[in-house]
Amino acid sequence: MRRPVVVIGGGTSGCTVAALLAATTTREIVLIESGNVSPHDDEPRFMDVISEENTPPFAMVSLLEGGIAVPYAQANVLGGGSAINGMILSGEPPASVEGLTRLAKVDEMGSVSRALLAAGGAPSRLWWNGGRWNPGRAVQHLVEEGRISLVKQDAVLLTGVSDAVHEVHTEDSVIEADHVVMCAGAIATPMLLLSSGMGAINPQIGVGLQDHPTIAFTMARRDSDRGVFDASVHLKGVTNSGGRFIVLAYERVSREVSSDALMTVSLMSPTSRGTISMLDGEVSVSMNMLSTKADIDGMRESVRELVRICNSPSVQRTTRSIVVDDRGAHLQDLEGLGDLELDQWIRGHLSFVSHASSSCSSAIDADGGLRGFANVTIADASGLPTVPSETPAASVTIEATRIGRSLGEKLA
């Protein structure tokens, strides 16, 4: 008797792959995902969704080499990041979601978004068209129809023979597997592979981790016109040193803090790479951000762009003051800094945007097959060759669709 295909993680990629395999094969499909079905797909304000849904700080991550580790949040819900994320699609939409995204309209934007628009920004395409695009919904129907079996637990260990995984262990069950598709996300996937001892066979697991280094300014707003979406305008650009950046306006800091807005800049073309590794039996996650000259230069110039945009008449008209750190330093305090001082300031205030990717990029073949293992495929953000230079959910979806189709043909 054939054993099931087991998909680990029911997020953006896992739901895409599971639904594709259900449609293109006759195989039994088991999806392991401990998160619930989200009841918030009609909520346009993603900060409300994040407050309601579980985004556990499941890993401690140091952003800079040797830096202090900070909690890294990831979705824990059917649909994963796509059920909770900011819905910004800065690049082109995947063909597979034709008609399920649309551009934000000016009358839906809050005043801070309109200020960024007036400063040269563009309306964002959103993963929204009468509701949020959430691949968890299709999976939910397939579970109700009995086509996919959902195991509502975390996978904790993979076991088998030296070149194949035959059992997936959850907290209280063991599921036999013919094929395993890893979709737990760019941090959880290598963590599970490494803690299952698979790094001894494939030492590239966990190598190549990237995210978009980010700096955020807090803005005391003059009005309470927060629009329909928390974020709906972006401004993209290229620095003199060739770094690509994106500036985003957020109408609130969080659901709880809505008197202040945020303006962020992220370096979208980082070259630095980090690692996820086992140290003394513990998994350690190091992003190693800003470890190349190109990234240091690119981030410095990106922050100067953010300062310039914040000084533009439209942004100044919308805000009473702009604070650049948690001690209340102002925009003007950054303007006088030389390159080295600004670089130092950036290292002390660096943040991330939950766009982790590429942590298994050199451990896999072109179809996501994990080298050294005959029956393990990686289809989530960890397999992307580099962190996308656009917001990443589209690239994750495109790759998961490609890998899911190719696997479906092999397994049919």
Strand partners, 248: 234, 264
Interaction pattern, residues 56-95, with ligand FAD; x per rule: CB under 6 A: -----------------xxxxx--xxx-xxxxxx------
Of the pair 150, 324, the CB lying nearest ligand FAD is at: 150
Of the pair 135, 369, the CB lying nearest ligand FAD is at: 135
User: Looking at beta carbons, which residue is closest to ligand FAD?
Assistant: 11
Contact 251, 261 (CB under 8 A): yes
Residue 378 binds ligand FAD (CB under 6 A) = no
Tokens encoding 199? 């790094």
Residue 148 binds ligand FAD (CB under 6 A) = no
In the set 10, 93, 206, 408, which binds ligand FAD (CB under 6 A)?
10
- In whole angstroms, how far apart are CA 35 and each of 55, 77, 152, 319? 10, 4, 7, 39
> Hunting for tokens 């649909």 — which residue is that?
79
In the set 4, 5, 9, 177, which binds ligand FAD (CB under 6 A)?
9
Interaction pattern, residues 311-350, with ligand FAD; x per rule: CB under 6 A: ----------------------------------------
Of the pair 154, 301, the CB lying nearest ligand FAD is at: 154
* Nearest approach, Cβ of residue 158 and ligand FAD (Å): 10
In the set 260, 295, 301, 380, which binds ligand FAD (CB under 6 A)?
380
* Nearest approach, Cβ of residue 217 and ligand FAD (Å): 18
Interacting residues toward ligand FAD by CB under 6 A: 8-14, 32-35, 50, 73-77, 80-82, 84-89, 154-155, 183-186, 188, 192, 354-355, 380-381, 391-393, 396
